[in-house]
Amino acid sequence: MPNSKRPRPNYFWSMLTLKCPRCRRGGMFSNHSAYNLKHTLDMPESCPVCGQKMEPEVGFWYGTGYVSYALTVAISVATFIGSIILFHVTFMDNSVLWWLGINSVFLILIQPWLMRFSRTMYLYFFVRYDADYDAKEARKDFHH
């Protein structure tokens, strides 16, 4: 089967499952669980499937702070709107404090996964899917 005819894994699903952006098959993190906290951000040097480098240059991951901040804000807005619709949370009584508390706990619980997801999303900004991922060598530089 020619490489270009291989099924192309879904963009968002690959991102959600923390797969390499180039082949969408190799895992971006060394450990399966994000909750092994000492190793949450351990990554292989390059993708085990296609050889894509995981940290293209020193300091590459500094930008992910902004990504995780933006995601945190987006998630909070979503849970707030959801709470208004489902639980009729209002500013008129202390129900908004309940939202604040539960949302904070939720954000702390998903933090390890969110840190991983931020890195994945960030790398997706720079690396495109390549159907010939195992026939061609991965590009060394990341600037388009």
Return residues touching Zn ion (CB under 5 A).
20, 22-23, 26, 47, 49-50, 52
Q: How far is the CB of 137 from Zn ion (least distance, A)?
A: 12
Residue 28 contacts residue 120 (beta carbons within 8 Å): yes
The secondary structure of 28-67, three-state, reads CCCCCCCCCHHHCCCCCCECCCCCCECCCCCCHHHHHHHH
**Cα–Cα distance for residue pair 60/13, rounded to 1 Å:** 24
Q: How far is the CB of 100 from Zn ion (least distance, A)?
A: 40
Measured from the CB atom, the residue of 21 and 89 that comes closer to Zn ion is: 21
Measured from the CB atom, the residue of 96 and 138 that comes closer to Zn ion is: 138
Tokens standing for residue 84: 């208004």
Q: How far is the CB of 20 from Zn ion (least distance, A)?
A: 3
Measured from the CB atom, the residue of 12 and 91 that comes closer to Zn ion is: 12
